[in-house]
Amino acid sequence: MLCVDVVCFNSRFRFIVIYRPPHYGSNARDYENKLIESLESLCQVAWPVFIVGDLNCPGVNWQTNCAPLGGVQDKLLDCVVDYGFTQCVQLPTTRGANVLDLVLVNEPLLLSSLSVLDPVGNSDHDTVQFCMATTSAKTQECKSFAVLSSITFATRVNDVMCKLSTSGRGCHAAGIYFGVLMYADVLLLISSTFTKN
């Protein structure tokens, strides 16, 4: 998990990037409890929050806010619903026709567009791109900028890491980690681009 606050004109946005491994046993419950505790802490701010990434919750129906009971998915769903988040990706983002790559936002009217694009490289995850609108205090003009989902960057780096690895083991976690770092760099670039005006 990575959390970055971006200040753009007079507005502040919090981006939380998450990759949750697709496990559902007792270790997954411990991980889930820590994840939910972290999300609860990070979401207690007065500015808009975006949660983006792959939560690996294929059983969640984001349109009806229903999930299988007694596991990891229902607790994650309860957390995001309790904090007023809306899941904005409506199309499947994997070849398995699941919506795994999510854009959750507590102020969905900030999104000016959202697209599911072709995957990067050999990934089985599509790219999710969204644009958000912000207003300049100086000109009162509305500007929007695009943000690619964290999984896109993670996948790109993961592909490179796997090609460099002779065994191919352990490269997925490294790719996700470096992908999150690359995503942070993109957010900082966006922030510096829009704060110079």
pLDDT band at 111 (very low <50, low <70, confident <90, very high): confident
pLDDT value at residue 87: 92
CA–CA distance, 102 with 125 (Å, rounded to integer): 11
Burial class (CB in 10 A: 0-12, 13-18, 19+), 25: exposed
Which of 31-35, 71-75, 167-171 bottoms out in mean pLDDT, i.e. has the lowest?
A: 167-171
The pLDDT assigned to 94 comes to 81
pLDDT for residue 109 is more than 80 = yes
pLDDT of residue 45: 95
Domain spans of the chain, in order of start: 2-195
Residue 185's pLDDT band (cuts 50, 70, 90): low
User: Please, what is the average pLDDT of the chain?
Assistant: 74
Q: What is the mean pLDDT of residues 190-197?
A: 49
Select the more confidently predicted residue: 190 or 127.
Answer: 127
Q: Using pLDDT thresholds of 50, 70 and 90, give the confidence band for residue 50.
A: very high
For the chain, give the longest Cα–Cα distance.
55
Q: What is the C-alpha separation between 163 and 48, in angstroms, rounded?
A: 38
Question: Cα separation of 150 and 170, whole Å?
Answer: 19
Q: Which of 34-38, 71-75, 173-177 has the lowest mean pLDDT?
A: 173-177
Extract the tokens encoding 49. Answer: 């929050």
By C-alpha distance, which of 102, 105, 124, 127 is closest to 116?
A: 127
Does 186 or 41 have the greater pLDDT score?
Answer: 41
DSSP assignment string, 61-109:
BTTTTB--TTSHHHHHHHHHHHTT-EE---S--BTTS---EEEEES-GG
| Per-residue model confidence (pLDDT) at position 189 | 54
Averaged over 127-139, what is the pLDDT? 69
Angle, vertex CA 84, rays to CA 83 and CA 88, nearest 5: 120
Q: Write the CA distances from 101 to 30, 40, 45, 109, 169, integer angstroms.
A: 22, 20, 24, 20, 23
3-state secondary structure of 60: coil
Q: Choose from 82-86, 87-91, 138-142 the range with maximum mean pLDDT.
A: 82-86
Architecture, CATH, for domain 2-195: 4-Layer Sandwich (3.60)
Cα torsion 62, 67, 73, 76: sign: positive
As beta bridge partners, residue 49 has 14
Range 13-19 average pLDDT:
91
Which pLDDT does position 79 carry in this prediction?
A: 94
